Amino acid sequence: MSHSSNSPTAPASRGQCQSIDLTGKIAQIDGHWQPRVVAEMNDYQFKVVKVEGDFQWHRHADTDETFVVLEGELQIDFRGAPSGDGTIVLRAGQMAVVPKGVEHKPRANVEVKMLLIEPRGVVNTGDGPTDERTVQNDQWI
Ligand code: NI
């Protein structure tokens, strides 16, 4: 694990009543597939992350998950979605909601910077194998 100035715990403000520079926050993250919380709204968290390469197939049994792409081009493969199997492409300024229970696999040919919106406590690898991609929750930046 790398040691950085990231605060592992939530600030008292929980990111509220302040301007949050998403790009600046992402620039502080070491490595890909390492989501960090920047703010909370009720029980929901806003997480920034940069990704590159393929993530693993997984699903979240209890919650939907929202992807908002800030930079780059993200592909999300689906299996068993109401709309059928397939892939969507999200470019900067585009977003998508992955329904709970639907298997998905995000991937990026080149680095993508994005914002995730999901309830507090969601494990990033869902029901997939716990491995080096599985990130400890509630790491703030
Ligand atoms: Ni997911």
Calculate how far, in angstroms, residue 65's C-alpha sits from the geometric centre of ligand 1. 6
pLDDT, position 7: 57
Strand partners, 103: 79
Considering only CA atoms, which of 12, 34, 97 is closest in space to residue 63? Answer: 97
3/130 Cα distance (integer angstroms): 22
CATH code for the domain in which residue 38 is found: 2.60.120.10
In terms of residue numbers, what domain contains 75? 22-119
Calculate how far, in angstroms, residue 102's C-alpha sits from the geometric centre of ligand 1. 9
Q: What is the pLDDT along the chain (141 residues), one digit of tens a residue?
A: 444 445 568 899 999 999 999 999 999 999 999 999 999 999 999 999 999 999 999 999 999 999 999 999 999 999 988 888 999 999 999 999 999 999 999 999 999 999 999 999 888 888 888 888 888 888 999
In a domain, 2, yes or no: no
pLDDT, position 5: 45
pLDDT, position 4: 45
In a domain, 10, yes or no: no
In a domain, 6, yes or no: no
In a domain, 66, yes or no: yes
Calculate how far, in angstroms, residue 120's C-alpha sits from the geometric centre of ligand 1. 13
pLDDT, position 3: 42
In a domain, 136, yes or no: no
Compute CA distances 23 → 10, 15, 89, whole Å. Answer: 19, 15, 21
How many domains, in total, are found in the chain?
A: 1
pLDDT, position 28: 96
In a domain, 84, yes or no: yes
In a domain, 101, yes or no: yes
Calculate how far, in angstroms, residue 55's C-alpha sits from the geometric centre of ligand 1. 9
pLDDT, position 55: 95
Calculate how far, in angstroms, residue 8's C-alpha sits from the geometric centre of ligand 1. 21
In a domain, 47, yes or no: yes
